[in-house]
Structure 1
């Protein structure tokens, strides 16, 4: 075979490979979607992502933070494809042109719960009055520092104010990071902690007392937003559809979501 015919053959093979979706000169790589997610969803996302990857062929990398913190990262222009945060945060990002507008899907909602060290006595918080008595009787309490943007910390701080006991609780309240919230209760430094139910249920060294009673409960709704500028829009859409599916909702419920 002469040189001209040999080059023509190589060119034909290369064109054929490209038409079959094979990259010439590099190994084929599955598309990857980068997700920024509120920490409250961590237990469910950890369980769901492997099934999504297996069924879709896409790969997913996930970074977690408070609902406010991950939204702030998108506002500052961090490169990512999809964000899962509170509806309020997604609305703000949409208004500022950071996520694709329209087609809002709420994938989960979760309430605030109280917890104690594993095996410790559980106070009665079955009504607003019982909750107030339990707070006043508690040796100490802890919840996520509201300045960090966590929905549960912001809500509990406001709740104590509304109930008129914030002043009395101030000296025995610890504002925690997610890294110290559970450990401080688990080792007995703090008597009662607060966070979203889904996160509490995922911790082995503490026990849920109960969700807050319905008349003082607060639910955070979580929604996805496809980030404008993403080069993996199809992968992000596929992940949103997966998280909204009946099978995913079953897993979310088992992880403490409603």
Structure 2
């Protein structure tokens, strides 16, 4: 009888362990949606009973931490949340499930300076041009916003050659963190990635005619064993109930109309 109890206890323990493992989701996410994620992920865990393991990394770039690099070397995940253009590339490679993409938020570019230094304005083209020409150094990210700053914004303002020697790409870490330390005098990145950083002053978004909007989206990874949970998570993150949290982090909600007509990244 005692032996039966021991066997039963072992089977019960193994069964419980399997159940726990079956309720765990691994999510790879880039910085633009991270501020909203840090609030919404625990709420989803509490409501649905899933335990979420978060892995952060850029949507693109050459660093080992970048999401495409992680997937390429076989790191496991159930959901990816990242820049829409980069997500398209993952789908072409067969790394995400076809038809699983969900539009999550739109992100615009803004700028910060070190806290305590005299503030500046970038409300129009002339002000932005003057600020950039006067700045001793300029920093931008290695993701979609940075690619736009370096390859298009400077050219649109007619100052590409003047700022070339003092503009720097920051890989992997938040641009604002280095501005806060005084390494760069002004930094550009998506607003949702600038606002959480202490030690800087947010001076505003780029002027409308110079703005670049990045679409963030999520999808289920091809090798995910937990499709139902992954699908539930993406539905939750795009639901109307969570949009106040999304907007509070500097992101813009994706309306149904926008989801249908907007490209992944809009100039």
Superposition TM-score, scaled by structure 1 size: 0.85
Tell me which structure has the larger Cα radius of gyration. Answer: 1
Give the whole-Å Cα distance in 1 for the aligned partners of 2:40 and 2:198: 20
CA RMSD of aligned residues (A): 2.5
Match of 2:20 among 13, 29, 48: 29
The structure-2 alpha-carbon separation of the partners of 1:187 and 1:125, relative to structure 1 and needing over 3 Å to count, comes to same
- 1:206 pairs, out of 183, 200, 206, with 200
Equivalences, count: 243
Q: What is the deviation of 1:178?
A: 4.4
- Extract unaligned runs of 5+ from structure 1: none
Question: What does 1:1-258 correspond to in 2, within 5 Å?
Answer: 24=14, 27=17, 28-29=19-20, 31-68=23-60, 69-144=66-141, 146=142, 150-158=143-151, 159-179=153-173, 181-258=175-252
TM-score by length of 2: 0.82
Equivalents in 2 of 1:25, 1:101: separation in Å?
32
Distance 1:49 1:26 in 2: 23
Specify the SS of the correspondent of 2:126. Answer: helix
Structure 2 Cα separation of the partners of residues 244 and 188 of structure 1: 37
Alpha-carbon separation, structure 2, partners of 1:26 and 1:223: 34
Unaligned 5+ segments in structure 2 are 61-65, 253-267
Summarize deviations over 1:39-72 as a string: whole Å, max 9, x none. Answer: 1111111111110000000010111111112133
1:126–1:25 Cα change, 3 Å: closer
Name the CA distance, whole Å, in 2 between partners of 1:58 and 1:174: 41
Superposition deviation, residue 87 in structure 1: 1.2
SS in 2 for 1:230: coil
Deviations 1:4-34 (A, max 9, x none): xx99x97xx96xxx9xxx6656545261000
